[in-house]
Amino acid sequence: MYPIVHTSVLAPTITKFVIKAPFVAKKRLPGNFVIVRVEENGERIPLTIVDSDNAHGTITLIVQAIGKTTRLMATKHAGDALVDVAGPLGNPTPILEGKTVACVGGGVGTAELYPITKALQAAGNTVHTVIGARSKDLVILENEMTDCSNHIVVTTDDGSYGRKGFVTDALKEIIESSPEITAVYAIGPLPMMKAVSNLTKNYSKKTYVSLNAVMVDGTGMCGGCRVTVDGKMKFACVDGPEFDGHRVDFDELIMRNRTYVAAEKISMNQYERECACKAKEVAA
Amino acid sequence: MSAINPLKPSERMKIPRQASIEQEAVVRAHNFEEVSWGLDEARALLESTRCLECKDPVCIPGCPVNVDIRSFLQLVMQKDYVGAVNKIRETNYLPAICGRVCPQEEQCEAVCTMGKKHPSIAIGKLERFVADYEIQHDLFVAPVVTEHRDEKVAIVGAGPSGLTCAAELAKMGYKVTIFEALHAAGGVLRYGIPEFRLPRKILDVEVNRIKALGVEIYTNFLVGRTATIDELFGEWGFSAIFLGTGAGTPTFMGIPGESLSGVYSANEFLTRVNLMKAYRFPEYDTPVHVGNEVAVIGGGNTAMDAVRTAKRLGADKAYLIYRRSRDEMPARLEEIHHAEEEGIEFHLLTNPTRIVGDANNWVCGIECLRMELGEPDESGRRKPIPVKGSEFVLPVQAVVEAVGQSPNPIVQSTTPGLNTGKKGIVVVDDVQMTSRPGVFAGGDLARGGATVILAMRDGKIAADAIHKYLEQKRTGGNGQAATA
């Protein structure tokens, strides 16, 4: 069991967890992820490690409650425990040194981008950051990202905070005003990473994207997370999770990630019924 | 040991080979309960008395781990079932598993003297009977470990080779720790072999018996990532390491359409069902998709497991597509029979060329070519040759590819000096030592794809070699002589 030592709500549906997992904390590098199982009958889901504290043997995960498993996880608090945390998995992010780079985070992807941004700054890079969210209440880690960036722009789709518009609009301006940028690190929803990659291709800027494919084991065993990169089959868990965004077949991955939409609905409906029953029991 | 069978050889030959009691095919094709219930006591006793008690029992060298078959059969004759299972356990620590999944018909039973003129003794079924008897009556007593040694040995992977190696070393008194990447021990016995061939409660019992020897198991620990081999030797303080990480990387055929939703590697399909219990979705959270018609590609045991699983998940039609003929299938005959009985439709001499998708990117068919057999190839099997213009499309909503696996590369790529050969298979000497002193390997990692029992054999050989290696190190040698 992996005890939860702290939780805090960062935004509606987005929760930060600090979890005791000393072996993972010790070895974790920016870009690594863990496979988590919340409860005994649960599925295995990949979650990027946001931070770690080797002295206390803890890792930090930031999770948006969107499916049954993440909603169940959001009900857990300090004192509860997760049944399984395996990792650190995946290849660490290649961290450039002494260059100018751009970091682009969309939605909860900002949490996954945070450790990379921090490492890039520590490696002496000049870091331009863009973080975007649908609206003001969903903007997360603004202070943390500001601390490890030389320059930061916050965008919201609805204009309720920062600049109105998409992250690509802000990124375009940054690239044009700072042509010395050598690489772009983008993490967020697939359509956003696709849009970023399409944009940076025009400027020939090397672009790293982190692919959130459906995984079971996370160790290269099932092949469920296969993605097409440069026309070749790659496994996101062991060959990635980061790939050259200019070579990723995003449309294929977007389709593949819809495979279990119907099953997820069944899971969610059952979970909601169970929650409703429990609520009734408590009321009675 | 002298002969104890009261029957004359001629009388023994008149007794028919006793058959297992099995669930009816039409019933079992829709559930995940075990196919075979094994022999009952009366049948087991009768079967044991068929043994000719050969002076030179050829069955024993026929067993990859040299179980003293003659002695265990004699103990069965004397109704000493616990004595019998303990006799097996002297050389094979997983009898309830081997009694179920070993290909006895190619090993001990293939060379059985009775088998020359009559059906051979049902050695595997008797092994299973005594192992199950002990479990049902809760009669297991862990072997007493008399000697205790200071050295710590790490086992990487809790599959058949690792579990066996761990058990043997623990019996010798070593401190043994198994590191397993998944959340449960068993390796292919857990994620690959289905419940209907190996119930998980049997696997759990066998794993617990290894823990009863003092073996510690760390799950969720991926060696190569959570700690490297060098770290296990260094800060973790292990003196020797056995690698049994299996052949976990799935092979895909490389035909168009493999990225469609509803296409699985056999590993993924079976892992979802066996490890994650997708057959009980939504009680368990992991889903799996089969649809009404499903095609499984391949002719090995994994393909049989996958296609029979697909049928049990509710597919009306479960097809097995294999490019050669039935005679060339690498699967166990028993598994092929079981599949046929359960209504699996075999498309033999058929090779898939393309997976067809619908507008939503879901599988809706598989295009195949008919094949005919030509001259034997390097494997000795007749080579399939495509028949021109024979393309046809089979409507299916799911495709499972069971066309082979290769070793998982994580340990190899993070361990300097560990030599690998073709397909990343780890190179070992005749006592399973790798190019790294103190690092041994066995099972599919060193073989590329074999059986549970051969993996166990490797684990046993490695355990003995590790013992020799550590003894030599203790007495001042460098351990190299262990490989001589």
Would you list the domain boundaries of chain A?
2-89, 100-256
Q: What are the residue ranges in chain B where pLDDT is below 70?
A: 1, 477-484
Angle at A267 between CA A237 and CA B275, to 5 degrees: 50
Verify whether the Cβ–Cβ distance B285 to A69 is below 8 Å: yes
Task: Return the closest-CA partner of residue B343 out of B323, B316, B321.
Answer: B316
- Give B326: exposed, middle or buried? Use CB within 10 Å, 0-12, 13-18, 19+: middle
B274: DSSP letter: I
Verify whether the Cβ–Cβ distance A43 to B286 is below 8 Å: yes
Residue of B nearest to A217 (CA): B182
For A81, phi then psi, to 5°, come to -145, 155
> Quick one: fold of A2-89?
Elongation Factor Tu (Ef-tu); domain 3 (2.40.30)
Output the average pLDDT for chain A: 96
B120: DSSP letter: P
What pLDDT shows up at residue B475? 87
A136: DSSP letter: G
**Could you report the per-residue pLDDT of A39-77, keeping only the tens digit for each?**
999 999 999 999 999 999 999 999 999 999 999 999 999
Verify whether the Cβ–Cβ distance A259 to B262 is below 8 Å: yes
Verify whether the Cβ–Cβ distance A223 to B250 is below 8 Å: yes
Angle at B203 between CA B200 and CA B204, to 5 degrees: 85
| ipTM over the 0.90 cut-off | yes
Residue of B nearest to A87 (CA): B226
What pLDDT shows up at residue B208? 96
Q: Give this prediction's pTM.
A: 0.95
Verify whether the Cβ–Cβ distance A23 to B289 is below 8 Å: no
- The answer to whether residues B184 and B273 touch, using CB atoms and an 8 Å cutoff, is no
Distance CA B379, CA B97 (A): 30
Distance CA B281, CA B294 (A): 19
Tokens matching residue B368: 């195949």
Distance CA B203, CA B207 (A): 6
CB contact set of B336 (below 8 Å; sequence gap of 6+): B304, B326, B329
| Ordered strands of the A14-20 beta sheet | A51-53, A58-64, A14-20, A2-11, A81-82
Verify whether the Cβ–Cβ distance B226 to A88 is below 8 Å: yes
Closest residue to A87, CB basis, from B226, B267, B287: B226
Is the pLDDT at A27 greater than 60? The verdict is yes
Question: Which secondary structure element, helix H or strand E, spans residue A111, and what is its range?
Answer: helix A109-122
B249: contact with A, CB 8 A cutoff: yes
What pLDDT shows up at residue B483? 46
Is the pLDDT at A124 greater than 80? The verdict is yes
Instruction: Pick the residue of B190, B220, B411 with the most A CBs within 10 A to test the interface with A by mutation.
Output: B220
How do strand A84-89 and strand A33-37 relate by DSSP bridges? antiparallel
List chain A residues with CB under 8 Å of B225: 27, 87-89
Class for the domain spanning A100-256: alpha beta
Closest residue to B220, CB basis, from A84, A238, A267: A84
Angle at B82 between CA B161 and CA B85, to 5 degrees: 25
Return residues 158-217 of B near A (CB < 8 Å).
181-183, 191
What pLDDT shows up at residue B423? 87
What pLDDT shows up at residue B481? 46
Question: What is the pLDDT confidence band of residue A128, given thresholds at 50, 70 and 90?
Answer: very high
Verify whether the Cβ–Cβ distance A41 to B284 is below 8 Å: yes
Distance CA B477, CA B484 (A): 13
Token match 């682009």: residue? A104
Task: Return the closest-CA partner of residue B121 out of B177, B182, B46.
Answer: B46
